[in-house]
Structure 1
Amino acid sequence: MKRMLLGVAAALLAYANDLERARELYSRTEYRQSLKLLDQSSQRAEPAALALAGRCWYQLGDFKRAVDALEKAVAAAPRDSNYHLWLGRAHGRRAETSNPLSAPGHAVKARNAFEKAVELDPANLEAMTDLFSYYLEAPGFLGGGLEKAEALAVKIRARDEAEYHADLDRLAERRKQPDIAERQLRAAVELAPRSAGRLIDLARHLARQGRHRESDQTFAKARKAEPSSKLVLYAQAETFIEGRRNLAEARALLEQYLQGPLTPDDPPREEALKLLEKAR
């Protein structure tokens, strides 16, 4: 009996070590290495391993395999809000990349998954913001709508006041109300002055309005707020390229972005390389 218990403990430890190592590889954007480790694990069919595999496939752009893995994770652990969230994201990307016949089906599945994620955990802010994005962007016949987005924004306010104002900015942009959008962005920045993301949103808005000097100054504030954030480099380079200005500086920013490690929250290296080509 003692040997058996020791054997079980050793197996559990090996699984935990495999999963932690796979998560570490994922955090370093080494997605294929993470998948290889998971595939070799004796517990590869466990919900946590399936969910991590799905996220790896998602990051690699193989959304079909991502959906397959995440559906298995949700079936094995149907009460996990984050599994439904990532399943929604995978179906969303399948909707964006599929043919016109199958895209609506994936869009509806994405909405259902986001709604389930919020139902299971009303405090899951990522799920709420992804569902808000769906309502904002999707047409009514797929379950979207500005009224639904606005109602959800009110619920988001109870969790994150700055996110609420950022969401109102996006609603105002859709309604072609740039003055209201800017007021909401500035309110978000005032509530989270050390957030590079909020400053980036404002800088991009100012650039779209042709207020390039103010935009550049706001990007500088974002870099000062979060000196280690690589997203600021990417966002400013992208903004320069979209406006066809300061292309030499855009190239320098992207080259700096591509140096050193990235995280899963950063735009993929492949996207930065594509952007770099546009700046040539």
Structure 2
Amino acid sequence: MRYLVILAFFITFQTFASDFNRAEMLFQQEKFALAKPIFEKIITEEPKNYKAIEYLGDIAGHAKNWNEALGYYEKLKKADPKNADYQYKFGGALGMKAKEGSKFAALGMLGDVENAFLTAAKLDSKHIETRWALVEFYLQIPGILGGSEKKAQKFSNELLSISPVDGYLARGHIQEYFSRYLKAEPEYKKAFEIGQSKTTYQKLYNLYKNKLNQSKKAEALKNAFENKNTKK
């Protein structure tokens, strides 16, 4: 009898693992509607399967169901308040809810959004996504509610020490946000020189073409980037 119990346990464990792997694969393929019920079944049988809960929060976020996403991220945040990713995702979902809802309702959420992001940044000194979120937060929020270019610059400088490409992109983004396009150019150029990626190329190309109206520079950059990537 004892061996039958052990055998049943392993069969159940393997079934859970198989279901999770299948749902995870579907998620990675962006087949969220198919992955969701599998993850829901998993957490019904394993309420503390935090990875499945996180995936369900992410699926809700992709669907812009912010209240549903917040429900999942709130569970994760309470279960492990020192997890920077959970704090970041909670802050992001709450921020999107505030952005897409009424302005009056948003006023009551901004402090919680900021606190979640700042907590995540404190918990993980190298959390890139959180610092990008804080840069954007302090740019978008009016000064009377706590917005500040100085604060945005602070987190762009932190990004620079963690990831130079992200740091220069963030610094360029701040300059571009305030329409200081000539000051944005050297920041985007540095990001492109270091990263040589599609993202850094597009930022610099867009600046030349659409903000500085320097079509020759934009075309030269485009040709150089395309030629380099064609040879690879």
- The residue that corresponds to 1:104 in the other structure is 107
1:127, CA displacement in angstroms? 1.6
**53, 76, 85: which is aligned to 1:50?**
53
Cα deviation code 1:261-280 (max 9, x no counterpart):
xxxxxxxxxxxxxxxxxxxx
CA contact (8 A) 1:85 1:127 kept: yes
| Residue 210 (structure 2) pairs with residue 202 (structure 1) | no
Secondary structure at 1:102 match in 2: helix
**171, 175, 180: which is aligned to 1:168?**
171
CA contact (8 A) 2:172 2:188 kept: yes
TM-score (norm 2): 0.86
CA contact (8 A) 2:181 2:211 kept: no
Q: CA, structure 1 residues 2+90, in 2 after alignment: closer, same or farther (shift >3 Å)?
A: same
Distance 1:226 1:39 in 2: 43
- The residue that corresponds to 1:73 in the other structure is 76
- The residue that corresponds to 1:152 in the other structure is 155
**88, 93, 97: which is aligned to 1:90?**
93
1:45, CA displacement in angstroms? 5.1
TM-score (norm 1): 0.72
Q: CA, structure 1 residues 97+7, in 2 after alignment: closer, same or farther (shift >3 Å)?
A: same
1:43, CA displacement in angstroms? 2.3
Percent identity of equivalent pairs: 19
Q: CA, structure 1 residues 225+8, in 2 after alignment: closer, same or farther (shift >3 Å)?
A: farther
1:17, CA displacement in angstroms? 2.8
Higher helix share: 2
CA contact (8 A) 1:196 1:225 kept: no
CA contact (8 A) 1:47 1:74 kept: no
1:97, CA displacement in angstroms? 0.6
- The residue that corresponds to 2:32 in the other structure is 31
- The residue that corresponds to 1:263 in the other structure is none
Which residues of structure 1 form unaligned runs of 5+? Answer: 228-280
Cα deviation code 1:139-169 (max 9, x no counterpart):
2344331111111222212111111111111
Distance 2:222 2:91 in 1: 32
Cα deviation code 1:3-43 (max 9, x no counterpart):
44443443333333323322221211111111111122222
Distance 1:71 1:222 in 2: 44
Report the structure number with the largest CA radius of gyration: 2
Distance 1:6 1:140 in 2: 63
The count of corresponding residues between Structure 1 and Structure 2 is 226
